[in-house]
């Protein structure tokens, strides 16, 4: 479908939560509704706040009756309040329209009567709440999964480097006060901070 914008400018806003996420799915959706590449604004950072350069550029360019496409409502924000606030900024403050590609009922261009506006705002509120609630549930499930993994003895991150073969001898001499911590670390070929950290863990591990 191609869009005849006339004096109305048509934009797309795409956001991915981190720089290693792929925006292809959202970009394809923008192309399918006819948004030109030059009018697509892309931010690759968290929706934690709205300090986003491309989103700010888009807002500055928006004029009354312009149209903004987004793939889904959670592209506008990461929680209920942010989504509703940005919807208000675009539609009320800027006087532009929003079209949510994944939810055709959320299209402020159509039927600008009171009932249509009421239905759109109600659906938006419900979906915004659902989106935020799902994010909270995901975080809770992740936290519970990590806690359960720790309980099973799973450890995350890279495993520590093996101790040097002379560590036990050096450790015992250091504990007996025969050598300094700096000398012990040098013999083990590690920084003093690393030696003290590994020594503390070694002591706990070997404590009867």
**C-alpha distances in angstroms, 59 versus 44, 53, 103, 163?**
17, 10, 22, 56
Six-digit token string for 82: 């942010």
Distant-in-sequence, close-in-space partners of 185: CB < 8 Å, separation ≥ 6: 191, 192, 194, 195, 196
Using an 8 Å Cβ cutoff, are 73 and 103 in contact? yes
Marked catalytic residue, from 5, 17, 125, 194: 17
Catalytic residue list contains 17: yes
Helix 167-175 with 181-188: angle, nearest 10 deg: 180
Catalytic residues: 17
């Amino acid at each position: 479908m191609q869009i005849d914008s006339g004096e109305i400018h048509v934009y797309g806003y795409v956001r991915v939560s981190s720089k290693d996420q792929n925006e292809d799915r959202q970009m394809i959706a923008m192309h399918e509704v006819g948004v030109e590449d030059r009018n697509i604004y892309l931010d690759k950072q968290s929706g934690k706040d709205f300090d986003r350069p491309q989103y700010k550029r888009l807002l500055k360019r928006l004029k009354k009756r312009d149209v903004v496409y987004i793939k889904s409502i959670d592209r506008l924000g990461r929680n209920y309040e942010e989504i509703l606030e940005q919807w208000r900024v675009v539609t009320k403050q800027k006087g532009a329209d929003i079209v949510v590609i994944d939810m055709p009922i959320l299209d402020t261009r159509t039927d600008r009567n009171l009932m249509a506006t009421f239905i759109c705002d109600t659906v938006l509120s419900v979906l915004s709440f659902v989106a935020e609630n799902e994010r909270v549930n995901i975080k809770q499930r992740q936290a519970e999964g990590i806690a359960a993994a720790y309980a099973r003895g799973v450890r995350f991150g890279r495993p520590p480097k093996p101790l040097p073969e002379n560590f036990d001898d050096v450790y015992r001499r250091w504990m007996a006060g025969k050598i300094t911590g700096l000398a012990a670390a040098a013999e083990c070929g590690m920084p003093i901070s690393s030696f003290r950290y590994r020594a503390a863990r070694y002591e706990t591990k070997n404590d009867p």
